[in-house]
């Protein structure tokens, strides 16, 4: 045996409470270890069809739904590369780190990018988008992110979509962090393309992006002058595989789709509105605890995400050292600030599997131990007591 054959496989247990991936539900882990079928097997098509139907339910749509192989960013790239041709104009509503990733992707495919910048950590200024649409004729596509994971703000997607369509543009939205943790009305808000990922509020595995494409969006893809620069991310080809014809494209990541199928089934068993309510309740308790620890919540209450809480790092405290100690001593991962927010905030994800009282109490307890070591004094037990009070009022059921 060569000397570098590694020993038995083992990784430390982590309580994942960052921006994602979160922990995967045990039932989903189990589904991923199911012996696979072929990816052109009618038995597998039945699984795909179930995923299609369940995605429609969560997206509240009758449109085409499917999974793109790759991370949430693959869903982002599939949308941009399929809906835009080189030289076409795209307006990117920009109020966070992942909006800027969209800019980078759209530039790479040769689109004419109009970045409309709005303040990070606040709701998008709709007047800025209106002005940009009035100034630029022939805008092909407007993009936005419903729940910017870098800032923790819920954005007014319905209004942005309406503005886009009033000016004849298509509308694409990132639902990576919102999917199954906040309401999405794909049809009701007249969205053309939405993409998400299972490793957030769905308690599923990372590795695919879950997308919906309107009829108008599909016509745009089918009516292109030239095919998209990417074969793998060509939504027309992917739709042909996921559609009733199940036409051969690339090999499906079967174990991940098994996991997604199970994660979606669990979301529907719980009920999507009930799951959204759970996320709200758990976040409320966590915010009560965080406030009791004398920490600041910089996002205004009316636009805060429930699935991702942004906490201000107290002055003089080393952001990185606190996170490292939470990980090393308590096995808890929380997120750092990105871009403009680097070193200034922590990001705590209470999504899917992590949206439960035990996680809230564990993190608050850990913070009560760790923060005083870095000079931020807290009343012992204050955070846990405040959170427990919320849970006692109305117990949270966790599947």
Show contacts with a copy of itself in window 127-186 (CB under 8 A). none
Side-chain-side CA neighbours of 399 within 13 Å: the count stands at 26
Q: Give the tokens for residue 233.
A: 């991310």
Establish if 217 lies at the interface with a copy of itself (CB under 8 A): no
Q: Rounded to whole angstroms, how far apart are CA atoms 146 and 63?
A: 19
Q: Which residues, 6 or more positions from 215, have their beta carbon under 8 angstroms from its beta carbon?
A: 63
Query: Is there a contact between 308 and 177 (Cβ–Cβ < 8 Å)?
Result: yes
Of 52-60, 115-123, 129-137, 183-191, the window that binds a copy of itself (rule: CB under 8 A) is 52-60
* Tokens found for residue 166: 């009033």
4 versus 395: smaller Cβ distance to a copy of itself = 4
- Cβ proximity to a copy of itself: between 20 and 121 the closer is 20
Question: Which range, of 100-108, 154-162, 287-295, 358-366, touches a copy of itself by CB under 8 A?
Answer: 100-108
Neighbours of 114 (CB within 10 A): 18
Pairing state of beta strands 308-312 and 332-333?
Answer: unpaired
- When binding is defined by CB under 8 A, the residue of 55, 63, 64, 70 that contacts a copy of itself is 70
User: Does an H or E element contain 362, and which?
Assistant: helix 357-373
Assess 233 for contact with a copy of itself (CB under 8 A): yes
Answer for the pair 92, 233: CB distance below 8 angstroms, yes or no. no
> CB-wise, 152 or 206, nearer to a copy of itself?
206
Q: Is 104 in the site for a copy of itself (CB under 8 A)?
A: yes
Q: 3-state DSSP call for residue 332? A: strand
Nearer to a copy of itself, 111 or 114 (CB): 111
Q: Quick check: 195 binds a copy of itself (CB under 8 A)?
A: no
Task: Indicate which single residue of 60, 229, 291, 340 sits in contact with a copy of itself (rule: CB under 8 A).
Answer: 229
Rounded to the nearest 5 degrees, what angle is found at the Cα of 80, between the Cα atoms of 75 and 84?
150
Q: Which is nearer to a copy of itself, 83 or 387 (CB)?
A: 83
Q: Which of 123, 128, 232, 317 binds a copy of itself (CB under 8 A)?
A: 232
Work out whether 50 is an interface residue with a copy of itself (CB under 8 A).
Answer: yes
Report which secondary-structure segment, H or E, holds 113. strand 112-117
Q: Does 43 bind a copy of itself (CB under 8 A)?
A: yes
Binding segment for a copy of itself (CB under 8 A), chosen from 12-20, 155-163, 215-223, 310-318, is 12-20
């Amino acid at each position: 045996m060569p000397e570098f054959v590694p020993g038995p496989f083992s990784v430390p247990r982590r309580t994942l409470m960052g921006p994602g991936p979160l922990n995967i539900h045990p039932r989903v882990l189990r589904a991923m270890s199911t012996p696979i079928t072929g990816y052109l097997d009618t038995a597998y098509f039945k699984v795909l069809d179930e995923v299609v139907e369940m995605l429609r339910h969560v997206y509240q749509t009758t449109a085409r739904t499917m999974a793109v192989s790759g991370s949430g960013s693959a869903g982002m790239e599939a949308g941009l590369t399929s809906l835009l041709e080189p030289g076409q104009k795209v307006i990117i509503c920009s109020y966070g780190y992942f909006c800027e990733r969209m800019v980078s992707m759209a530039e790479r495919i040769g689109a004419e990018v109009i970045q409309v910048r709005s303040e990070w950590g606040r709701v998008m200024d709709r007047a800025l988008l209106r002005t940009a649409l009035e100034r630029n004729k022939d805008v092909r596509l407007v993009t936005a992110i419903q729940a910017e994971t870098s800032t923790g703000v819920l954005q007014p997607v319905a209004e942005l979509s309406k503005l886009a369509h009033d000016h004849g543009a298509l509308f694409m939205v990132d639902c990576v962090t919102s999917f199954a943790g906040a309401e999405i009305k794909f049809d009701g808000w007249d969205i053309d393309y939405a993409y998400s990922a299972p490793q957030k509020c769905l308690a599923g595995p990372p590795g695919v992006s879950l997308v919906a494409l309107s009829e108008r969006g599909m016509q745009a893809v089918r009516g292109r002058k030239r095919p998209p620069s990417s074969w793998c991310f060509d939504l027309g080809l992917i739709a042909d595989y996921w559609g009733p014809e199940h036409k051969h494209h690339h090999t499906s990541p079967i174990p991940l789709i098994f996991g997604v199928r199970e994660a979606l089934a669990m979301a529907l068993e719980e009920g999507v509105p009930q799951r959204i309510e759970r996320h709200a309740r758990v976040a409320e308790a966590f915010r009560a605890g965080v406030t009791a620890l004398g920490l600041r919540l910089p996002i205004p209450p009316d636009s805060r995400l429930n699935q991702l809480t942004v906490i201000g790092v107290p002055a003089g405290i080393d952001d990185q050292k606190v996170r490292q100690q939470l990980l090393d001593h308590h096995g808890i991962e929380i997120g750092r600030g990105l871009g403009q927010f680097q070193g200034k905030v922590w990001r705590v994800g209470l999504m899917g599997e992590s949206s439960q009282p035990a996680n809230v109490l564990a993190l608050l307890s850990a913070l009560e131990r760790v923060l005083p070591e870095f000079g931020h004094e807290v009343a012992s037990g204050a955070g846990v007591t405040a959170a427990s009070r919320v849970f006692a009022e109305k117990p949270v059921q966790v599947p």
